[in-house]
Amino acid sequence: MKITELVVFQTRLLLMRPLMLKGQRITHRECLLLRLRDDHGNTAWGEVSPLPGFSTEHISDVTEQIHSVRRFLMQRETLPEQLEKLDGGFDILFHGMTLAPSVRFGIETAILQLLASQRRMPFRKLLSTEPRDTVAVNGLLSGTETEIMDKTQHLLAAGYRTFKLKVGQRPLPEDVTIIRWLRETVGTKGAIRLDANRNWDMRQAIEFADAIRDVHISYIEEPVRNYLEILQLLNNDYPLPLALDESLAVLKPEVFPSLPGVHAVVIKPTLHGFERSMRFARAANNKGMAAIISSAFESNVGLAYLAELAACVNLYPGGSRVACGLGTADWFAENVQQLALPVHQGAIILPQEPITQHSAVIESLTEPVHG
């Protein structure tokens, strides 16, 4: 396969309400959408959307990187075989190039979509011989106590059974009260995940655990300041099951550690790249941990690829019930609607055909940058 075109479009999508990320107030999502074409006439789209406060790169930093990738791909007559294995092929392809994770995510998914289109198969079946056709989603809970209660009731009525609550942003007794209310409301069959976003020191994390140790939760993400403090909690028999998210920045999938007490890893491919995210997921599954594919508030272009990836991980017995963190579409007041993913009873229903992306609709929302 030869890439014959790479065009970049820029868009700015309005959010339904402000998003607070590491002290930044975000009202719009800045996105670069990549349109690739190959010598067979196939078209695919990718998304490059660094997440403020989490990505090390800014959207203004990546345009030159995309220029470099464009020049590099245009000069190649073919691409390497078996890139879809996601076992290092893209590392070899882009060896010597310094590319931000969000750029890798956008380019890698678009190239893989071209391969899927050539073979006339759904994206996920390019990656796995036994992917799922539906992916459970956790409902995201944040905001005031009243907003959380209202959202919980709405999600329960819509068939959601896994709920993720942001903690550490309000006084600890208020978090404890909400968690106890949530457990009572969703019942024993509802799964509760907590995310502290590294808001606590060791003392606060231990105090919190003591306050809810009788409330069953699936896990709490990143309760302390850094990975070394996570290890201290584990060494001291922390009573709550843990999950890693930001800590993946200092870990490598090739030498992923065994961490009794860590039940899951939360993987945001925009922060790691698509190929590296699959390698993290495989490494976690091999250690008996769940791999939670999660959104970094991408548009529906990126979200569609995340859902396809989520369908290909956690394929051990019972893995089909692992909910992913892709319930972010309702944060957007505007999006690429033709790419909307239908959700029924708390699960995304994936298409049976190759991802259909209508260029005219995407381009009507965007402004060409180069190509």
CATH number at residue 212: 3.20.20.120
Q: Average the pLDDT over 201-216 and give the result.
A: 98
Percent of the chain with pLDDT over 70: 94
107/136 same-domain check: no
| Per-residue pLDDT band at 367 (split at 50, 70, 90) | low
210/251 same-domain check: yes
173/95 same-domain check: no
What phi and psi values does residue 103 have, to the nearest 5 degrees?
-70, -45
Which one, of 62, 6, 1, 69, lies nearest residue 30 by Cα? 62
Q: What is the pLDDT of residue 369?
A: 62
| Per-residue pLDDT band at 23 (split at 50, 70, 90) | confident
What phi and psi values does residue 22 have, to the nearest 5 degrees?
50, 45
Total structural domains within the chain: 2
| Angle value at C-alpha 94, between 117 and 370, nearest 5 degrees | 70
Q: What is the pLDDT of residue 47?
A: 97
Q: Dihedral of CA 134/136/141/147: which sign?
A: positive
219/132 same-domain check: yes
Tokens at 94, concatenated:
């882009």
For 77-102, b where at least 16 C-beta lie within 10 A, e where not — what string?
A: eebeeebbebeebbeebbeeeebbbb
What phi and psi values does residue 370 have, to the nearest 5 degrees?
-165, 175
Please, which residues have CB within 8 angstroms of residue 104's CB and are 6 or more apart in sequence?
90, 94, 273, 274, 275, 276
240/327 same-domain check: yes
CA distance 188 to 72: 54
If you average pLDDT over every residue of the chain, what do you get? 93
Q: At what angle do helices 227-235 and 202-212 cross, to 10 degrees?
A: 50
Tokens at 69, concatenated:
């990738």
137/73 same-domain check: no
Per the CB < 8 A criterion, the answer to whether 342 and 158 are in contact is: no
DSSP classification of residue 287: T
Residue with tokens 């209508």: 358
Residue with tokens 């989490």: 54
Per the CB < 8 A criterion, the answer to whether 117 and 141 are in contact is: no
Q: What is the pLDDT of residue 170?
A: 94
Q: What is the pLDDT of residue 326?
A: 95
| Angle value at C-alpha 88, between 86 and 91, nearest 5 degrees | 115
Query: In this structure, how many other beta carbons lie within 10 angstroms of the beta carbon of residue 10?
Result: 16
Q: What is the pLDDT of residue 358?
A: 47
For 14-46, b where at least 16 C-beta lie within 10 A, e where not — what string?
A: eeeeebeeeeeebeebbbbbbbbbbeeebbbbb
114/141 same-domain check: no
180/243 same-domain check: yes
Q: Per-residue pLDDT for 353 more than 90?
A: no
CA distance 196 to 200: 7
Which one, of 344, 246, 260, 333, lies nearest residue 296 by Cα? 246
Q: Average the pLDDT over 4-22 and give the result.
A: 92
Lowest mean pLDDT among 128-142, 265-279, 355-369: 355-369
207/164 same-domain check: yes
Helix ranges (H only) for 213-256 are 227-235
Q: What is the pLDDT of residue 21?
A: 84
243/279 same-domain check: yes
pTM of the entire predicted model? 0.95
283/268 same-domain check: yes
Q: Per-residue pLDDT for 140 more than 80?
A: yes
Helix (H, G, I), strand (E, B) or coil at 43: strand
140/30 same-domain check: no
CATH number at residue 101: 3.30.390.10
| Per-residue pLDDT band at 286 (split at 50, 70, 90) | very high
Domain residues for the domain of 247 are 127-349
The β-bridge relationship of strands 134-136 and 262-267 is unpaired
pLDDT tens track for 210-242: 999 999 999 999 999 999 999 999 999 999 999
pLDDT tens track for 93-135: 999 999 999 999 999 999 999 999 999 999 999 999 999 999 9
pLDDT tens track for 307-346: 999 999 999 887 778 999 999 988 999 887 656 678 899 9
Q: Per-residue pLDDT for 62 more than 90?
A: yes
Q: Per-residue pLDDT for 351 more than 90?
A: no
Q: What is the pLDDT of residue 357?
A: 53
Q: What is the pLDDT of residue 361?
A: 46
CA distance 345 to 137: 9
CA distance 192 to 138: 9
Q: Per-residue pLDDT for 360 more than 80?
A: no
Q: Per-residue pLDDT for 355 more than 70?
A: no
